[in-house]
Amino acid sequence: MAGRAQPVSAWPGIGAAALVAALILCTLAAVAWRAETTGGFVPSDWAALRFTLTQAVLSVVFSAALAVPVARALARRRFRGRSALIALLGAPFILPVIVAILGLLQVFGRAGWISDILGLFGLPPIRIYGLHGVVLAHVFFNLPLATRLILQGWQEIPAERFRLAAQLGSNCWAIFRLIEWPMLRRILPGVLAVIFAICLTSFAVALTLGGGPRATTIELAIYQAFTYDFDLGRAALLSALQLALTAAAAFAALRFSREDGFGSGLDRAIRRWDGGAPFLDALWIAAATVFLLLPLTSVVLSGLAGLFELPVLVFRAALTSVMVAMASTVILLALALPMAAAVAVGRSRIVEISGILGLAASSLVIGTGLFILVRPMINPSALALPVTALVNAVMALPFALRILVPAARDVIAGQGRLALSLGMSRRAFVLRVLLPRMRPQIGFAAGLAAALSMGDLGVIALFADTQIATLPLQIYRLMGAYQMQAAAGGALLLLILSMGAFWLLDRGGRLHAEA
């Protein structure tokens, strides 16, 4: 298809992919160059590596072990509100990390709801800081993701498999052994690899819940090398180690995601005849729902009291976050749209490789490289907001391409030949056909990018000084100053802004399609 005349030029997408690749590879090269000037790892670095791997493995194990029965219960049961519950499972992905952490502290912290209940029975309060707190937060974020991915695997099983099992009189154990377990064996390795990669690059969780030198991840060690020691060589070496770990996890995720599925059926609605244990399924669904809703409910309840008494600094930081999110969204669309079009016309390999580079390098690794590159020429703090917007766009690019590429392929395959036969120019095809028909996907990708950028607490922590702060960074500073009521009000404001940005952009795209 790439050798034929196409209604869209692939060169803008190739150029955008080259810019993304140059940004990431140059920053990684700067990290590698700077890493040669250090004296090597110190004992605290090895401790950070051990803690990083330990918390990632435990988070993966608990997230997957809990997600399997929840996904199985959702696959077997039909009830009112099921669709809304499945949609709720996607909320933690766009939920600002600092908001979720504050909610977890208010529920599971030393002065939280659970500790208050334990105190009524004379039991000691929960200690959330440290390894168990980091794992708890990661399970909160990754349990919904794992459930959605595993549930999708259940939904891909042709309905005819379950119909045949019912006709043969197979019991629940036989259905699990012959149908469900082969699916889990195919799906779970990729799910585990994805969650492992996410936990490796988790920064805000370790920053707020780590609880000291014994609970320091590699990402947190990079941040500490910058802010406390200003040891760029050590930070660069740790960044190189972080890159190797995340690249290995990303490669494993891509490798396992290529396994063959069950084949196609007749697209019938899946009906389950194996009754199983309805009470046990309901218990799993209820427990997962309560676990997800309690922290969000606590943020709303505690934030209402402090929302109208917020200091001016919080509103100034909120405005900064909105501006950064807007800039990040514009940058993302400027990169993702031509790259999606290039993939759709057959230039997929080079563009897709550039698109997924952001998965191999965390935002702190890219930020480290940018800091090293710009420091000889300009004060990095002066570029804090532009760099944050740029890195947030690059980190959201892999997800945006997954949203935009299928739609671009459908439009070009369905309308491209007709446009060529009518002599329509490439510019006219893009403006009058491609972009209007992709508005739902563009709105969804833009909303996702805005929400992720709004809640990011990564690069800004490296570049910002005391005069510059986004809303997540300002909330973290309030928590560090023990101004918990103001922090709760700021968290509620951040929740409203991030969810509102996602809803506004996503809804704006779908309004055109529904008209």
**Measured distance CA(16)–CA(255) in Å, rounded:** 26
For 165-179, the pLDDT digits (tens) are 666 656 667 677 767
**Domain coordinates in residue numbering, the chain:** 1-33+308-515
Both tokens assigned to 515:
């008209």
Residue with tokens 């401790």: 47
For 178-226, the pLDDT digits (tens) are 677 888 887 888 788 888 888 887 888 888 887 666 778 888 888 887 7
**Measured distance CA(321)–CA(90) in Å, rounded:** 22
Residue 171, pLDDT score: 62
The low-confidence residues of the chain, meaning pLDDT below 70, are 1-5, 35-40, 156, 158-172, 174, 178, 211-213, 250, 253-276, 347-349, 359-360, 509-515
DSSP conformation letters of 234-303: HHHHHHHHHHHHHHHHHHHHHHHTTS--------PPP-------HHHHHHHHHHHHHHHHHHHHHHHHHH
Main-chain dihedrals φ then ψ at residue 458, nearest 5 degrees: -140, -90
Residue 365, pLDDT score: 77
**Measured distance CA(108)–CA(262) in Å, rounded:** 41
Query: Distances in Å between the alpha carbon of 453 and those of 80, 130, 162, 385, 448?
Result: 34, 27, 43, 11, 9
**Measured distance CA(222)–CA(231) in Å, rounded:** 9
Residue 63, pLDDT score: 93
**Measured distance CA(489)–CA(469) in Å, rounded:** 16
Contact 462, 481 (CB under 8 A): no
pTM: 0.79
CATH number attached to the domain at 1-33+308-515: 1.10.3720.10
DSSP state at residue 213: G
Centre a 10 Å sphere on the Cβ of residue 387 and count the other Cβ atoms it contains: 20
Residue 301, pLDDT score: 87
Smallest CA-to-CA distance from 427 within 415, 417, 419, 439 is with 419
The total number of residues written for the chain in this structure: 515
Residue 161, pLDDT score: 64
Residue 264, pLDDT score: 43
